[in-house]
Structure 1
Amino acid sequence: MFHSRWLRQVTVMACLGLTAPALAHDDSLDIVAPWEINSPNPSRAGHVFLRMQVAETLTDTDRKGRLSPGLATDWQVSEDQLTWRFAIRQGVQFHDGTELTAALAADALQRAASRPGMLDQVPIAAIEGRGNDVVIVLDSPYALLPALLAHSSTQILAPASFGADGQALQVIGTGPYAVTSLQTPQRLAVTRFDAYWGEPAAIEHASYLAAPRGETRALMAQSGDADIVYTLDPASRLRLERTANVVLFAEPIPRTVAIKVNAAHPALAEREARQALSQAIDRRGIATGILRTPDAAANQLFPPALTAWHQPGLAEQRHDLEAARETLAALGWQRNAQGMLERDGQPFALTLTTFADRPELPIVATVLQDQWRQLGIDVSVNVGNASEIPAGHHDGSLDLGLMARNFGLVPDPLATLREDFGPQGGDWGAMNWSDPQLTELLETLSQTSLPPEQRQTHIAEAATLLSQAMPVIPVAWYVQTAAVTQQVEGFSIDPLERSYRLSDLRWSDT
């Protein structure tokens, strides 16, 4: 809530390149985060509208990350596992007053299925509304379907959201907040929807501002120009700890800082070469010195929060430069006069691409550059946009990509793993690498309802295989951070990053 902010706005607006109306009014809860609103289309920016509680999905998650009812109150599958029925919640209105029906929900899902997104991997034969049920018919069993229907790309929007060509022109959802203004790619304003089917929100107005620069976000938290600021770099956190009227929050989330590897690169094709890169990483030093969280050092892709997939028995990924040197020497890499590695006259030279939306990534990239240089590898760091990593995946130009991969996009990480480590790899997963055994394990887990012990055995095999082959090299487990004004009560971080939980919040002075 803004109080005497006008004089400070000049500096903040200059950082963002905005004009005076950019910041919200005094009665608005103002949220700042790195992520731009690229489009009203759910497949492109649905995560923002889901987090701002504008749009909702058929299934949801509870406070423990378990699948729970959303716009569907319950669901069931036929004996042959091919027909799913989702019962639509009664008494739900879209923000334009249209009543939610099974037919409208089915139309929204048909649009989602026709665009890139999580539903790409589902063998859907038909989606239709039958009475009060959305019925989804499959060509083959797919046990993950209810979990995928919690993904932001499957949010249910009113028909008036779409133009004649099927593209979203506006976002008319069913959540406790309705859009009053959308200025892509940076600004969104919402107001409380009093006809919401669930518990009404206490705060009437809220806004979202995309500020990709970490320094700008920290300045807004420190100056009081924002009420909630997400994703803080470690230096800013230290400074904000000494700032009056600001409370810091940190929450481990199922996201991993990891290195995407182009396994077709001549220097990275051998598994042993990828393992050598891993051995040269001082994870404990990165977790302690940069992330300020010693326990974040990652010995595997899956953090402890993903209890089913995290393997407690896996050994620590030790920092061992000498072992890394021996591994590469066995592959034919020899030091030249400058102390850098060569093989068959070709230098061991790579480009590590990352992005600054997550402010710690460029810092980690610089440390990795130095640690690999000690091994004799010449690494250049390219800090660009997040889109450069998937773009480099598709055109083959990427060597290495430092990212923070979210395994909590849906309540079951298996859906994300199938997207990342299928036969063709994935934008944020494997590149020019696949393994028939892993493909079979993931297919079996997704298509079949296995007994718990057998399912856990398959999961352990898949997790161990990824740990050994290293198509993606884990560095650290992620901790989400936020700075919150003391004028806000009821704040908490959603570990699955589905919601900013605005409807839980209230002003402390009211």
Structure 2
Amino acid sequence: MRFGLVLCLIATLSLIAAAAGCIDSGSEKNVLIVGNHLMSDARELDQGTGTGTLITEKIIITETLVATGEDFSLKPNLAESWKMINDTTWEFKLREDVKFHNGDEMTAADVKFSIENINTKQPGRTTLIDYRDSEIVDKYTIRIRTNTMNPLLPAALHSPDTAIISPKSYDANGEYVTTIGTGPMKLASFNEQTGEIVVVRHDQWWGGTPTIEKIINRGYPNPNTRAMIIENHDVDMTFDPPYSEVARLDAIEGIDVLKFNTPRTYKLDLNFDHAPLDDLNVRKALAYAIDRQGIVDNVLYGVGSVATGPFLPTMAWANTSLVPYTYNQTLAKQYLADAGWTDTNGDGYVDKDGKKLSFKLLTYTERPGLVPMLEAISSNLKDIGIEVEEIAMETGAISPMLAEGDWDMYLIAANLAMVPDPEYVLKTWYTTDGTTNRGHYSNTEVDRIVAEGHNLITPKERYAHFRTAEGIVYDEVATINVAYYGVAIIMWDNVQGFTYDPTAHDYRLSPFMTVA
């Protein structure tokens, strides 16, 4: 009878564990369970669909030809070296000790396939490569030709979307089967219903033998859910809970919280098509009205830092001579008055020609800092007499408003280093025809500087040249840079060996972690 009760109890506990989504790793050692803030579907594991950040940084199954140092300067990775042969040709020498997950050796033919695969399926993601064709010189040498002179090519090949995969990732008809990369982990399974991804150690990795045996990666898009699952130890590691929860979680015995800056900037895009945002005095008033330090301390809870220019000061090309727009309500009101906006009727709002100054401020809800930042910025602007209509919705709901121009300011966490070179941001954000210049800022001098800088070859020349353009867009308040994005990495202390990569987009998992 007692034996039956024990069996019944064991069975009941097993059902409870299963219902809770727990994983029994059995006798396996060094199994890391990660609560990821990214969700995925079947297409998102295909390099050809342009979601390289997930497969290259979050589940580390693919790698790029070019990597970066901590200051975002370029360094070898799958390519040992590169040089410019002529104005439109770059030659890359490949490592000779790289094996794909299926045991095949990586060659120049695989590199050619990978670049052409993404160029054909997602050409928008290879715009900065300016790809024309490529030539296989020998087994470990490839020459990549561009349509025009393109010194940006090596930096563009750092983008996770250009990661190298085996052609055997597709069947004979070109249909995606699985992702076969060269990274420290290899894909073991993918659950299309739950989004759970399991990767296991790649014993033949050229970078050494990973210590982690398996990573189970689950998607939890809600920040509150991520706080709950780490506290309950349903996962070993997660990222970006509500920032208001960071201190409480850090105080729990056994939980460690690490905070780092990542290559993103919280910025306000301004709609230059909507007066009076085309008035520099109004834009300067906005810049001085925002309490950046207060937002970092009290809204982001220290997860991030105050921004000056668009680039992190640790980036090798950043213009570190820029003078910050400090929080100064008096100066902000003076700039409004210089633009003709004063409170003529004593209602607390500035007006001009009988019209109240009012802006529509948008943001999206997927990242935990954006909505509370929107509220804080709105409060700051109200303090100097500006009325703000706050709109926070999922990205899909906001996109039509942006496309139709139905907005004044847009708060976004924008990526800075998908391509580690200043031209990437300055061209796309600030030139007249920039692909993400949604506010339609335009300055012929900036256009000229960026165009001329494109033809400079050496990093030292390029960096010095582009600092001039950065200074202009900063002085003209082309965007308002509020804070450099921070990531909160939360793990139980049974996880050891995590190394933060400051050049990754939010974070990159480390292959040399261990889980007790």
| In the alignment, structure 1 residue 222 sits paired with structure 2 residue 231 | yes
Larger Rg: 2
Of the candidates 101, 109, 134, which is equivalent to residue 95 of structure 1?
Answer: 101
Quote the offset at 1:55 in angstroms.
0.8
Of the candidates 70, 81, 92, which is equivalent to residue 86 of structure 1?
Answer: 92
Aligned-partner Cα distance in 2 for 1:448–1:390:
36
Cα-to-partner distance string for 1:269-299 (whole Å, 9 max, x where unaligned): 2222222111111112112222333992223
The match for 1:16 is none
Deviates more, 1:359-368 or 1:497-506: 497-506
Whether contact under 8 Å (1:280, 1:324) holds in the other structure is yes
The match for 2:168 is 160
Deviates more, 1:407-416 or 1:220-229: 407-416
Of the candidates 40, 43, 47, which is equivalent to residue 45 of structure 2?
Answer: 40
Cα-to-partner distance string for 1:227-272 (whole Å, 9 max, x where unaligned): 1111233321111121111111112233221111121122322222
Gaps of 5+ in 1: 14-18
Aligned-partner Cα distance in 2 for 1:396–1:167:
38
Of the candidates 81, 91, 99, which is equivalent to residue 74 of structure 1?
Answer: 81
| In the alignment, structure 1 residue 265 sits paired with structure 2 residue 274 | yes
Aligned-partner Cα distance in 1 for 2:508–2:303:
27
Cα-to-partner distance string for 1:354-408 (whole Å, 9 max, x where unaligned): 2333212211111111111222222122222245566544332332221222212
Of the candidates 305, 313, 331, which is equivalent to residue 304 of structure 1?
Answer: 313
Of the candidates 412, 430, 443, which is equivalent to residue 451 of structure 2?
Answer: 443
Where does 1:492-507 land on structure 2 (aligned, <5 Å)? 492-497=499-504, 500-507=508-515
Whether contact under 8 Å (2:426, 2:469) holds in the other structure is no
Deviates more, 1:440-449 or 1:390-399: 390-399
Whether contact under 8 Å (1:194, 1:200) holds in the other structure is yes
| In the alignment, structure 1 residue 111 sits paired with structure 2 residue 117 | yes
Count of aligned residue pairs for this structure pair: 494
Deviates more, 1:93-102 or 1:396-405: 93-102
TM-score by length of 1: 0.88
Whether contact under 8 Å (1:9, 1:225) holds in the other structure is no
Whether contact under 8 Å (1:105, 1:129) holds in the other structure is no
Where does 1:1-20 land on structure 2 (aligned, <5 Å)? none
Give the counterpart letter for 1:321 in structure 2.
Answer: Q
SS at match of 1:55: coil
Cα–Cα, structure 1 residues 166 and 264, in superposed 2: closer, same or farther, change >3 Å?
farther
Quote the offset at 1:158 in angstroms.
1.9
Quote the offset at 1:61 in angstroms.
2.4
Deviates more, 1:44-53 or 1:97-106: 97-106
Quote the offset at 1:32 in angstroms.
1.8
| In the alignment, structure 1 residue 293 sits paired with structure 2 residue 298 | no
TM-score by length of 2: 0.87
| In the alignment, structure 1 residue 59 sits paired with structure 2 residue 66 | yes
The match for 2:408 is 399
SS at match of 1:394: helix
Give the counterpart letter for 1:304 in structure 2.
Answer: P
Aligned-partner Cα distance in 1 for 2:304–2:95:
42
Of the candidates 304, 315, 327, which is equivalent to residue 319 of structure 1?
Answer: 327
Give the counterpart letter for 1:198 in structure 2.
Answer: G
Of the candidates 324, 330, 333, which is equivalent to residue 338 of structure 2?
Answer: 330
SS at match of 2:109: helix
Of the candidates 18, 21, 33, which is equivalent to residue 30 of structure 1?
Answer: 33
Alignment identity in percent?
25
Aligned-partner Cα distance in 2 for 1:98–1:20:
40
Aligned-partner Cα distance in 2 for 1:358–1:248:
18
Whether contact under 8 Å (1:253, 1:305) holds in the other structure is no
RMSD: 3.0
Quote the offset at 1:22 in angstroms.
8.0
Give the counterpart letter for 1:431 in structure 2.
Answer: G
Whether contact under 8 Å (1:254, 1:306) holds in the other structure is no
Whether contact under 8 Å (2:73, 2:316) holds in the other structure is no
Aligned-partner Cα distance in 1 for 2:455–2:22:
48
Of the candidates 437, 441, 456, which is equivalent to residue 433 of structure 1?
Answer: 441
Cα–Cα, structure 1 residues 105 and 392, in superposed 2: closer, same or farther, change >3 Å?
farther
Gaps of 5+ in 2: 1-9
The match for 1:462 is 469
The match for 2:209 is 200
Deviates more, 1:336-345 or 1:41-50: 336-345
Where does 1:351-430 land on structure 2 (aligned, <5 Å)? 351-386=360-395, 392-427=401-436, 429-430=437-438
Deviates more, 1:160-169 or 1:186-195: 160-169
Aligned-partner Cα distance in 1 for 2:105–2:137:
16
Aligned-partner Cα distance in 1 for 2:435–2:24:
38
